[in-house]
Amino acid sequence: MGFFEKYVKQCRKPSGLLGKFVGRSMNFGHGGIRSWGLSHITVSPQSNILDVGCGGGKTVQELAMLAPDGKVYGIDYSEDMVELSKRINRKLVQKGLVEIRHGNVSSLPFEDDFFDFITAFESYYFWPDLIGDLKEIRRVLKPAGTFLLANEVYKHEKFEKRNSEYVRLLDMMIHTPGEYREFLDEAGYTQIHIDEKAEKNWIAAVSRK
């Protein structure tokens, strides 16, 4: 297996030295999708926010800047990413503005109606039970809370060759924009808005509880 394949396979659940390198690389490399994705929501300073699949922790850091009077939680199923995210957000953690936990999307360690906003960047591809996991996210959203799902890969004929290789290497799922609307509706979300940046193969889905 060449380095490219080893690197790509780490994107599913980064671990070990290469995984930590991949986590730091994603902190840098996902800057574009983070900025574009977050441009679809307006976060109030007092917001209580969760980032699902927080990876290296850069999204958590940027969310904390948007909600200086609130609190941002990150959760990831890779213990190495939890460690890295805590390190990246060390000062914010010490101030009580950020909390990083080890866990998974299928069983979120939070009470019902807890968050104003929930984000998920580049992580839904690997969720074990898409509809069930979306319902679990909806459970911990406050009534009328906002869920932002943003990804750099979605089904599009222009990117079919590249994306099929990612799907093969990572055993990941991807969907069309129409399918995003369908699965969010099936999971009970409302006010669903889908936006595409087709030239980059980026997609953002904003919905409400």
Q: pLDDT tens, 146-204?
A: 999 999 999 999 999 999 988 888 889 999 999 999 999 999 999 999 999 999 999 99
CA distance 180 to 50: 20
Task: Determine how many CB atoms are found less than 10 A away from the CB of residue 94.
Answer: 9
142 closest CA partner among 53, 51, 46, 48: 48
51 — phi, psi (to 5°)?
-110, 115
Tokens of 193: 């808005």
CA distance 159 to 114: 38
CA distance 103 to 141: 17
CA distance 182 to 192: 10
CA distance 89 to 98: 7
61 burial level (CB within 10 Å; 0-12, 13-18, 19+): buried
**Which residues have C-beta within 8 Å of that of residue 196, sequence separation ≥ 6?**
154, 177, 202, 203, 204
Contact 91, 65 (CB under 8 A): no
Question: pLDDT for 48-89, tens place per residue?
Answer: 999 999 989 999 999 999 999 999 999 999 999 999 999 999
Contact 179, 151 (CB under 8 A): no
What's the mean per-residue pLDDT of the chain? 92
| pTM metric for this prediction | 0.92
Tokens of 31: 């800057």
